[in-house]
Amino acid sequence: MIRILVTTDAIDIAAEQVSLEQGGAVATFTGLVRADDGVATLELEHYPGATEAALLRLAEQAVARWSLSAATIVHRVGPMHPGERIVFTGAASAHRAAALEACAFLIDRLKTDAPFWKREVVAGKGRWVEARESDDHAADRWR
């Protein structure tokens, strides 16, 4: 079962976990908005339609590569605040190595392959977050 959700609502971890609990092993990753350098608000822009298609493609690749019983990607968009959940990836499989690897694959590749853009508001001023080379390297190890 694949579940893709792009939403302005808070991410409900408990519900996502329960829907993943198929097979013997579930691995999840949750990214939170950090309060680095006084960030008050983080705004997430995305490319409607293309985003969902990109996430679905990633989830399908993970399911095929690791024979997953379930894969979930939830990404929040719009304005959010430090401590809130921005992204959730989850993978379920019969065995733990597959679930753990697939979960890491989903978040690493999401960082480079899905059209989201972060804008930080610090002291009332907005600035677009720069892409990081380390994210390209992390994504490359799955190619």
Partner 1 sequence: MQLLYFAWVRERIGMGGEEVSPPEAVETVADLVAWLSSRSDGHAAAFAKPARLRAAVDQAFVPLDTRIAGAREIAIFPPVTGG
**Nearest distance in Å: CB 12, a copy of itself:** 9
Distance spanning both ends of the chain, measured CA to CA: 23
Give the distance between the most distant pair of CA atoms in the chain: 48
Member of 3, 5, 17, 115 binding a copy of itself (CB under 8 A): 17
CB 90 within 8 A of CB 27: yes
Site string for a copy of itself, 90-129 (x = CB under 8 A): ----x-xx-xx--xx--xx---------------------
CB 76 within 8 A of CB 8: yes
User: Looking at beta carbons only, is 30 or 61 nearer to a copy of itself?
Assistant: 30
Member of 10, 32, 40, 129 binding a copy of itself (CB under 8 A): 32
Q: Hey, how many other C-beta atoms are within 10 angstroms of the C-beta on 66?
A: 21
Rounded to whole angstroms, how far apart are CA atoms 95 and 51?
Answer: 29
**Nearest distance in Å: CB 14, partner 1:** 21
Binding site for a copy of itself (CB under 8 A): 13-14, 17, 21, 23-34, 83, 85, 94, 96-97, 99-100, 103-104, 107-108, 138
